Structure 1
Amino acid sequence: MSGHRSHRHRPVVLGLALLLLATGCSGSGDAERAEPPASPAAASSVAASAPPASPFWVDPHSDAARQVAQWEAQGRNSDAQVLRRISERPMALWGPGDDPGPEIRRAVTASKAAGKTVVLTAYNIPFRDCGQHSAGGAPDAAAYRRWIGAFADNIGDARAIVILEPDAVPHIIDGCTQADHHGERYRLLSEAVDRLKRQPNTRVYIDAGNPAWIPNASDLAEPLFRAGLERADGFSLNVSNFQPDSAGRAYGAKLSKATGGKHFVIDTSRNGDGPLPGDRGQTWCNPPGRALGAPPTDRTGDALVDAYLWIKRPGESDGQCRGGPSAGTWWPDYALGLARRARD
């Protein structure tokens, strides 16, 4: 299951938001509390650490950017400065489930003007997230085909990376998605790859879960090919999860070998301190004490890893657990904690 934004309940919020381990998340427990204001020295340290150059587009209207502006207006300058570790870095834009066109057009127009690559997430497959925190998706196959068509149309000739349907394939393998939906899901994913690849500068990565979900990476190979991997650019790992980069690279290398050398991308948005120790069923949903991971870059030092990306938007809730709001809702205190503990 995922801490993704549910698109059933609202129009997209700028600064949109997804996984994992298909178990329920407790609705009890303490929320991560806001930490005390940073010292002037800490704020200066953050100010001196400018974000590294990145080929990916930064959304100036994200929830994090809006929060920075709000806190500055309120005189919370030290907190605002810390939060710039999120607001000034590129994150994936999640195409809204009703009509993805306007938001994608906005992002594409701005990214082209900036000469950057826009990172997008397509997350609207029917029977999404098995009815859990991010349940929803298109009502049927015909609606999904229209939606993914509009998604692709509005990318146009822009340079884009699309993360295709987080959780969709792993949820087939782990049995969370009902068996009578498997055939249709494979067809829709395969068709989505073909539709998106009609855009001349779009790269597509089919989601493959995370290293702690499907233990044997080779079990994903045949399902990913049924979902169109042969024609995609590769697969994505660790979306909305907290597995360290080393685990992602090792797991990805095994899956790459099983798929004939396919490349992959890794979500590093919140894995700076790895997963929360303890019961697997409680580690993925708003775990306390986590930190931002490696900033987005295409300079990974690994020939198989095309990019480290912030696919899950840091600061957006995984769901109503540990005091968090609904999946995908901006949670300033949690975002501030992630940013304070970041090493970069």
Structure 2
Amino acid sequence: MTHHLPRTVLPAAAVALVLGLAAPATASPAPPATAAGHTLPAGTRFYVDPDSDAAHQAVTDLKNHDLAGAATMAKLASWPEATWFTGGTPAEVRTQVAKLMRDAGRTGTVPTLVAYNIPLRDCSLYSAGGAQSDAEYQAWIKAFAQGIGNGKAVVVLEPDGLANLPSDCGPASDPTGVLTAGRIADLNTAVDALEGQPGTSVYLDAGNSHWKSVGDIAQRLLQAGVARTQGFSLNVSNNLATDLNTHYGTWVSTCLWFATKGPAWANGHADSCAGQYYSSAAPNDGLPGNAVDPDDPSTWHWTDQWFQQNAGTPPTGQLTHFVVDTSRNGRGAWTPPQGKYSGDPQIWCNAPGRGIGARPTADTGVPLVDAYLWVKTVGQSDGQCNRSVPGGTIDPEYGAVDPAAGAWWPEQAQSLVQNAVPALTFNLNLH
């Protein structure tokens, strides 16, 4: 993010033209927002960073006379991905965000930004880091919002921040609850600061369909101020199939309505909602198919039935919207060979054989899904996974030590593109 646009446009554009993959397109204004300024029009075009990892890899491959590799990376570099902001001082993040907004503004496109600096981030594991205190974070996120200004932007707010509260990190991680209370306060401050900008669409991260139960995450979303945002985000940096996340997200959205606008007895009781792990509408008698199984969507009709019985059909206009990260879910979740690992195989971490999913778009065709986005940078490592092999540092799936979290991994990028579903083509809607 240190170069100016005229210098950084060259790599991706040059590689594309050399390889005959694209012709220059003319910039056009971003679609107008609604009066509220927070809903994404279906025709929204998202910002493509000309200085991305993939763009630089395309140039490297071209210099090394790897035309096939360069073509693959040029195609990847033509698609919009989110920009992550993970630290720095308030002044630094304000400057960095403002620069991104200017770059996007020149192309008439909408950037997707990820705010990822919450204290005790990732339970101090693979992606450890974050602000050192609640006060430090709140100053940082207010500066982040100031950097956005009046422009149109999408913000994915603190991946895993709600699904991995300090109280979830271990039995002794937050004995008094003060750290979790601070987390909720931080997120509420962030919501108010970001939503105070007229063109910012904020999505509070809610994990994914194989993590927190519907009622649990809905309750956390309410506590963090989701009612004051555009909605929530799902599947960030994960590879669960889009249809599973859409199904789960619809339940979460309906649960939010149920606990706030539903029957009087349900007020404040998001924890009563059925979900992907349990539904009281099912027989739950131990017979196959008679209970909800998070790994068997054919059983999810029991949860659908619970919502039909208890929530009915809520008014569409009162349901909370969401976005789904499709950057690595084209082939769905990874299932390790049975018996290969005795411990946690870390199916979320640098899962092998995965592929890019649906292309970024605000025209999803699903009423509650505002956009499919590439939130996780395609080709960046999740961390140094070891599949829970005691004392192991090597990832058995790759036979080597994985790159550190956030590091560019060219081989993984190539694999994700090669396995894309549908097959990855060049983005012809470039500015």
**Aligning the two structures, in what range does the TM-score lie when normalised by the shorter sequence?**
0.7 to 0.9
Q: From 69, 75, 80, give the equivalent of 2:65.
A: 75
Cα displacement string for residues 7-42 of structure 1 (whole angstroms, at most 9, x for unaligned residues): xxxxx899xxxxxxxxxxxxxxxxxxxxxxxxxxxx
Match of 1:326 in 2: 404
1:173 Cα deviation from its structure 2 partner: 8.7
1:172 Cα deviation from its structure 2 partner: 2.4
1:182 Cα deviation from its structure 2 partner: 0.8
Match of 1:266 in 2: 324
Structure with the bigger RCO (C-alpha within 8 Å, sep 6+) is: 1
Q: From 137, 154, 159, give the equivalent of 2:147.
A: 154
1:47 Cα deviation from its structure 2 partner: 4.4
Q: How does 1:94-173 map to 2 (within 5 A)?
A: 94-98=84-88, 99-172=92-165
Which amino acid in the other structure matches residue 66 of structure 2? R
TM-score, normalising length from structure 1?
0.83
1:101 Cα deviation from its structure 2 partner: 2.6
| Cα distance in 1, alignment partners of residues 220 and 363 from structure 2 | 29
Q: Quick check: 1:304 aligned with 2:400?
A: no
Identity %: 42
8 Å CA contact retained: 1:95, 1:122: yes
8 Å CA contact retained: 1:218, 1:254: no
8 Å CA contact retained: 1:315, 1:331: yes
1:230 Cα deviation from its structure 2 partner: 0.9
Relative distance call for 1:286 and 1:174 in structure 2 (3 A) is farther
Q: Which consecutive residues of structure 2, in runs of 5 or more, have no partner in the other structure? A: 4-18, 25-42, 258-318, 386-394, 396-400, 425-431
Match of 1:57 in 2: 47
| Cα distance in 1, alignment partners of residues 205 and 74 from structure 2 | 28
| Cα distance in 1, alignment partners of residues 78 and 94 from structure 2 | 24
Larger Rg: 2
| Cα distance in 1, alignment partners of residues 184 and 372 from structure 2 | 26
1:281 Cα deviation from its structure 2 partner: 4.0
RMSD, matched Cα: 2.2
1:131 Cα deviation from its structure 2 partner: 1.1
| Cα distance in 1, alignment partners of residues 357 and 166 from structure 2 | 28
1:333 Cα deviation from its structure 2 partner: 0.8
- Secondary structure in 2 aligned to 1:169? coil
Relative distance call for 1:198 and 1:160 in structure 2 (3 A) is same
Relative distance call for 1:13 and 1:175 in structure 2 (3 A) is farther
1:54 Cα deviation from its structure 2 partner: 6.1
1:223 Cα deviation from its structure 2 partner: 1.1
| Cα distance in 1, alignment partners of residues 97 and 66 from structure 2 | 32
Relative distance call for 1:113 and 1:300 in structure 2 (3 A) is same
Q: From 239, 245, 269, give the equivalent of 1:248.
A: 245
Which amino acid in the other structure matches residue 366 of structure 2? D
| Cα distance in 2, alignment partners of residues 91 and 172 from structure 1 | 26
Runs of 4+ in 1 over 2 A off after TM superposition: 177-180, 278-281
Q: Quick check: 1:200 aligned with 2:198?
A: yes
Relative distance call for 1:226 and 1:281 in structure 2 (3 A) is farther
| Cα distance in 1, alignment partners of residues 52 and 136 from structure 2 | 28
| Cα distance in 2, alignment partners of residues 96 and 128 from structure 1 | 10
- Secondary structure in 2 aligned to 1:157? coil
Which amino acid in the other structure matches residue 304 of structure 1? L
| Cα distance in 1, alignment partners of residues 190 and 180 from structure 2 | 15
| Cα distance in 1, alignment partners of residues 403 and 242 from structure 2 | 28
Match of 2:224 in 1: 227
Q: Which consecutive residues of structure 1, in runs of 5 or more, have no partner in the other structure? A: 1-11, 15-43
Cα displacement string for residues 217-268 of structure 1 (whole angstroms, at most 9, x for unaligned residues): 1221121111010101100000000000110110000001011211000000
Which amino acid in the other structure matches residue 214 of structure 2? A
Relative distance call for 1:173 and 1:264 in structure 2 (3 A) is farther
Q: Is 174-183 or 122-131 further displaced after alignment?
A: 174-183
